[in-house]
Amino acid sequence: MTVDSNSPDPWKEARALIDAPGGSVNIAHEAVDRHVAQGHGATVAMLWLGKDGSRRPLSYGALSDASARMANVLTAHGLTKGDSVFALMGRVPDLYITALGTLKAGMVFTPLFSAFGPEPIQTRMEIGSANVLVTTAQLYRRKIAAWRDQIPSLKLVLILGDEAPEGCVALDPAMAAASPSFETVHTEPEDPALIHFTSGTTGKPKGAVHVHNAVVYHAFSGRHALDLTPGTIYWCTADPGWVTGTSYGIIAPLVNRVTMIVDEAEFDLDRWYATVQNEKVEVWYSAPTAIRMMMRSGAEAAAPYDFSSLRFLASVGEPLNPEAVIWSEKVFGQPFHDNWWQTETGGVMIANRPGMAVRPGSMGKPMPGIEAGIVEHTDAGLEPLGTGKVGELALRPGWPSMMRAYLHEQARYDKCFADGWYLSGDLAMRDADGYFWFVGRADDLIKTSGHLIGPFEVESALIEHPAVAEAGVIGIPDETAGEVVKAYVTLNPGYQPDATLEKELRGHARKKLGPAVAPREVIFRTTLPKTRSGKIMRRLLKARELGLPEGDISTLETDES
């Protein structure tokens, strides 16, 4: 299938991947009900792996029935189309059923990380005017109960299990009493469906609004960026609290009628390798942080396992270092394919697609139908830049999964667009063959002695050293040079932080990059601050180094020590 970006309707062929009965577009219908209607109700939609080693397969028919029950539970409590449903729980089947039932009822679904503390939960529920919260009794008591009354929009709290705290409703009895039949609410293509929150460098998080028509691009990009075809055994390791875990951990796989693996447990190397082997995973979508953790354990840890089922590996979250691509090819017999997109884009925009020659360190080429450019800000407006020039990565608006708003922040949303482009805030360059290369966030760029340095380049060079597991690089003010490069690294097992190793790492970087680009100082850390999606928070390293405000750190997962 091709997408003709010059066509009056460039997404016509992409829409052929969905049903859209009577012009209504509803994500839940496309994800489960249409497959049941077409005779695939017995196909396993989701294989859930519990922390305790249990396995629970759910068919498309079972998901259809359960999501209908959830929709009936919501409407029985007076909720209607457009109401806002938040989910706060781990990767359990109820989370996926809640998402589908919410969408089936024409309501707006917002997933939250279960590891969030009370304040980021409350902030997001206030911004999103939450009407319903679905969570566990433990999370409710620990993180919600103390401030629940401060959210006037909150009408209903559903608690997983047979019992619920006072003022809440137990979900299991309500689901058992509800009908497994529900007529999916008619939703127009532009009706809101999903809200995903993304952290800002300052102030409150932004609530990016996505519509039901996004399913067109979820279906298309799942097929063409990840090779998701009916019957594929697919494992996206991302939590639905992160946009990848919803777009490509729920919607894209189900729309393409795959069997998706959902693991309740957090990262454990042997568990992950055993899951790929035992469940015969064919397509594996993960994050650079996890891949670097695999690298840290070495090829020896992977040797006992059989990875012959794998046919495609992909990575997203932050740029994938070239060394990780090369390592995965040696260990798994094929490279991880990096791709690039954002919460705001709703889907993969640039990718190393199946069949493409991978250039380690490159994010790949624009997806069919996506026009990407490198632009420079000038007094006259945005000017496109040519081959090899570093500028801001920009996209022509109009793809189906593009965000439609930031909740209650029209000016902030409008600032993302100029001169017919969506501005990503990421710096990149395009080579002569059309591959795009990530340089860094615009506010991460380091200016030293007249040179513009992207931190990713320095981090990748450091990771090539056998001692380095992860690296984070920032610019520090300097009277002479303007800024100088400073690096923070974590080490692989068997290496000790000392002055000799620090000097060796600086020498390694100088040899790879030259003295102007190499770090002047290398600081050893046991961990680096990262978001739950695996991105190293360079701005936080810099804020702490310079004593600046830290901004929104609600998505922080780990901290340096």
pLDDT at 200 over 60: no
Determine the Cα–Cα distance for residues 290 and 390; give it in Å rounded to an integer: 29
Q: Where are the beta strands (DSSP E) in 125-213?
A: 132-135, 156-159, 169-170, 192-198, 206-211
For tokens 């957090």, the residue is: 266
pLDDT per position as a tens digit, 404-426: 999 999 999 999 999 999 999 99
At residue 550, the pLDDT reads 62
pLDDT at 6 over 70: no
| Inside any domain, residue 373 | no
| Inside any domain, residue 157 | yes
pLDDT per position as a tens digit, 375-391: 999 988 999 999 999 99
Helix axes 93-104, 60-76, angle to 10 degrees: 60
Q: What is the mean pLDDT of the chain?
A: 91
At residue 418, the pLDDT reads 96
| Inside any domain, residue 93 | yes
At residue 7, the pLDDT reads 55
pLDDT per position as a tens digit, 125-176: 999 999 999 999 999 999 999 999 999 999 999 999 999 999 999 999 999 9
| Inside any domain, residue 8 | no
Query: Which of 195, 211, 227 is the last residue in one of the domains?
Result: 211
pLDDT per position as a tens digit, 331-375: 999 999 999 999 999 999 999 999 999 999 999 999 999 999 999
At residue 136, the pLDDT reads 98
Secondary structure of residue 143 in the 3-state scheme: helix
Query: Which of 158, 181, 211 is the last residue in one of the domains?
Result: 211
pLDDT per position as a tens digit, 243-268: 999 999 999 999 999 999 999 999 99
Domains in the chain, number:
2
| Inside any domain, residue 462 | yes
Query: Which of 211, 238, 255 is the last residue in one of the domains?
Result: 211
Average pLDDT over every residue of 453-457: 77
pLDDT at 202 over 50: no
Amino acid at 473: V
At residue 74, the pLDDT reads 98
| Inside any domain, residue 227 | no
At residue 455, the pLDDT reads 82
**Domain carrying residue 500:** 445-558
Q: Which of 301-310, 408-417, 473-482 has the lowest mean pLDDT?
A: 473-482
Q: Which of 229-233, 422-426, 476-480, 500-504 has the lowest mean pLDDT?
A: 476-480
Average pLDDT over every residue of 486-513: 93
Domain CATH for 188: 3.40.50.980
Domain CATH for 454: 3.30.300.30
| Inside any domain, residue 366 | no
pLDDT at 4 over 70: no
Determine the Cα–Cα distance for residues 398 and 23; give it in Å rounded to an integer: 19
Do the beta carbons of residue 558 and residue 527 sit within 8 Å?
A: yes
pLDDT-derived band of residue 201, with 50, 70 and 90 as boundaries?
Answer: very low
The separation between CA 338 and the C-alpha centre of its own chain, rounded to angstroms, equals: 13
| Inside any domain, residue 27 | no
